Structure 1
Amino acid sequence: MQNLVILAGNVGATPEARTTQGGTKITHFSLATSRPKRDSNGKTIKDDNGRRIEDTEWHRITCFNGVGKTVEQYVDKGMKVMVRGRIHYTRWTDNENIERYGVEIIADEVTFLTRAKSASGGQGGNDSSVDDDDIPF
């Protein structure tokens, strides 16, 4: 059996990166995915203007090393990307001794579906894909 997830959506905010004491680059970003909202008969629900209403879900994406470095350099808020990776569940106890749970997607590959920002911060480049095999560590 395999833990595999593929998501395509819009980046919610500029990715945040950090490096661990051991030198591992970790980059996080949020990804919004949407689907049409349906009534009990399966029919798409529309608003007063005739536009379909959508349910949006937010996903926490975590990238390591080469993928994380590329995401930090070229991904920006609003870009459309496709993420291929795995679901990772976490459990911890907070400062008030309450057990908490979380879920994130560990990205193996991020494909740009819209133009990436250039390393200097402007728009540019072509649609591209990056995975950990493409970048030396």
Structure 2
Amino acid sequence: MQNLVILAGNVGATPETRTTQGGTKITSFSLATSRPKRDSEGKVLKEGGRRIEETEWHRITCFNGVAKTVAEYVEKGQKVMVRGRIHYTRWTDQENIERYGVEIIADEVTFLSYGKSRQQQQGSTQDNEDDDIPF
């Protein structure tokens, strides 16, 4: 059996990076995924001709090389696809209450769009070459 997750969505905020005492680079970001909202019969709900969507937020954690690339190139609003695994955590807080959490440990992050700053750079250049996303 395998623990495998693939998510495609929009980055919710600028990724945050930290380094452990042992030198491991860790970058985290939130990812929003959406799906159409359905009624009890399974029909897609619409409002004003547009479908209503439900958004879910996922906490993504990257390590080492993937963490470095994400920290350098990923921006809020960018579309990415994450391939990784689900990781559950349990801890006791300062008030002695047991807490639970879930995150996605990313093995790969594929860029489905450029970040806004890169799009602006692309728009201001005058060459006609097609640029590929570098990763």
Instruction: Please give the TM-score of this superposition, normalised by the length of structure 1.
Output: 0.87
**RMSD between superposed Cα atoms in Å:** 1.7
Q: Give the aligned partner of residue 98 of structure 1.
A: 97
State the match for 2:133 in structure 1: 127
CA contact (8 A) 1:67 1:108 kept: yes
- 4+ residue runs of structure 1 moved beyond 4 angstroms? 116-119, 122-125
- Structure 1 distance, partners of 2:134, 2:32, is 20
Letter in structure 2 aligned against 1:27: T
* 1:69 matched residue in structure 2: 68
The residue type equivalent to 2:104 in the other structure is I
| Bigger share in helix | 2
- State whether structure 2 residue 38 is matched by structure 1 residue 38: yes
Alpha-carbon distance, 1:128 to partner:
4.2
Q: CA offset at residue 104 of structure 1?
A: 0.1
Q: Aligned residue for 2:12?
A: 12
User: Counterpart of 1:83 in 2: which secondary structure?
Assistant: strand
How far the C-alpha of 1:127 sits from its partner, in A, is: 2.3
Q: Among the aligned pairs, what percent are the same residue?
A: 80
SS in structure 1 opposite 2:102?
Answer: strand
| Preserved CA contact (<8 Å) 2:74 2:115 | yes
Distance between the aligned counterparts of 1:87 and 1:123, measured in 2? 35
Q: Can you give the 5+ residue segments of structure 2 that lack an aligned partner in the other structure?
A: 123-130
Q: Tell me what 1:114 maps to.
A: 113
Segments of 5+ residues of structure 1 without an aligned counterpart are: 130-137
Whole-Å separation in 2 of the counterparts to 1:94 and 1:72: 29
Corresponding residue for residue 78 of structure 2: 79
TM-superposed CA distance for 1:126, in Å, is 3.0
Q: TM-score, normalised by structure 2?
A: 0.88
Structure 1 residue 115 displacement after superposition: 1.5
